[in-house]
Amino acid sequence: MPGVEAMRASVRYSTTVPFGTLAAYGLAALCSAMGCWRAVFAAAGLFLTATALCWLRGMRVLAPPLPAAPARSAARAAARPLPHRLPAVLALICLAALASGMIRDGIQTWTPTYLHDIYGLDNTFAIVLTFTLPLVNLCGVYMGKWANDHIFHSEAVTAAAAFLAACALLAAPALGVRLPLWACLALLGLCAALMLAVNTMLVTLVPLRLQNTGRVSALSGLLNSATYAGSTLSGYGMGLLLERSGWPAALPGLCAGALAASLLCAAAAHGWKRLRG
């Protein structure tokens, strides 16, 4: 797929993430209202199985046939060798992607718990209110793309700005300020949208900028794995932190993580500017 079309398709593909999150929250709220949490896991397992079967069937039609050996050799010969500065820049971007996964899932996974603990909401109602996060997330993809195209002209700088904005938004609750419920939901929604903008920059667009290296799939897989590693660490790390120290430690931790990730992206910006051309 040509570079411009690949960019557009990838940005649109990124919008499927909020829809999946919305469906997950809806399923959790329904099962919570029915008083049957085990049904969440059973329904999710059945849905994933059906999706896997559809994927295997659909890829038979969509996947192009493998080229002949001479064609593969010619494609490898045409691919530009990896720039010598790429490993150092990629290491910084991977660490930032790891942080984005931690912050994104730290917000999305633990928002119902936060609303229950701080505002005393019923668990089911807290999950229903959390529906606002993926709805706001949808604008994060296009917000990040617009800022990158019209203001920053660099995926690393755009991600750094998004991390810094998230840090600023999280500063008030991290300092113990109890905002009105609507303001808290708006703040958390904007932070989640900013993390999706970061994900679009680092995981979706960075590999496509290096399309001429012939290693888009490998780079995309590496950055995706960093994001999901951050998500896994967030699930266990936030739970442990909340159990031991509560929200007065968890929120400053998210704030500090966003600031550190902003600095990582800023450090990668100069090298990335030369790599992306």
Dist CA 71 CA 50 (whole Å): 35
Nearest to 187 by CA among 240, 243, 118: 118
Dist CA 112 CA 91 (whole Å): 33
Quick one: pLDDT band at residue 265, thresholds 50, 70, 90? very high
Cβ-Cβ contacts under 8 Å for 81 (sequence gap 6 or more): 213
In order of 12, 54, 55, 64, 74, the CA distances from 59 in angstroms are 19, 8, 6, 9, 25
Dist CA 17 CA 252 (whole Å): 26
120 φ/ψ angles, rounded to the nearest 5 degrees: 70, 25
Tell me, what's the pLDDT at 134?
Answer: 74
- Ranges of beta strands (E only) in the chain are none
Quick one: pLDDT band at residue 177, thresholds 50, 70, 90? confident
CB-based contact 146:168 (threshold 8 Å): no
Question: Mean pLDDT throughout 202-226?
Answer: 87
Cα torsion at 64, 66, 70, 71 (round to 10°)? 20
Quick one: pLDDT band at residue 101, thresholds 50, 70, 90? very high
Question: Mean pLDDT throughout 101-113?
Answer: 88
Tell me, what's the pLDDT at 81?
Answer: 65
Question: Mean pLDDT throughout 77-82?
Answer: 58
Tell me, what's the pLDDT at 65?
Answer: 63
Cβ neighbourhood burial of 89 (10 Å; 0-12, 13-18, 19+) = buried
Give the range among 60-74, 94-108, 211-225 with minimum mean pLDDT: 60-74
Tell me, what's the pLDDT at 124?
Answer: 77
Give the range among 26-40, 103-117, 179-193 with minimum mean pLDDT: 26-40
Tell me, what's the pLDDT at 223?
Answer: 93
Question: Mean pLDDT throughout 199-220?
Answer: 86
Dist CA 239 CA 217 (whole Å): 33
Tell me, what's the pLDDT at 109?
Answer: 84
Dist CA 221 CA 207 (whole Å): 9
Domains of the chain: 15-276 (1.20.1250.20)
Flag whether the pTM goes above 0.95.
no
Across all residues in the chain, what is the average pLDDT?
Answer: 84
Q: What is the pLDDT of residues 17-36, one digit of tens each?
A: 777 777 777 777 777 777 77
User: Residue written as tokens 């997330």?
Assistant: 137
In order of 7, 8, 60, 64, the CA distances from 2 in angstroms are 9, 10, 22, 15
Question: Mean pLDDT throughout 3-28?
Answer: 72
Dist CA 152 CA 273 (whole Å): 11
161-173: burial string, b at 16+ Cβ within 10 Å, e else: bbbbbbbebbebb
Q: Which of 43-57, 69-83, 129-143 has the highest mean pLDDT?
A: 43-57
Q: What is the pLDDT of residues 108-159, one digit of tens each?
A: 888 888 998 889 888 878 877 877 777 777 788 889 989 999 999 999 999 9
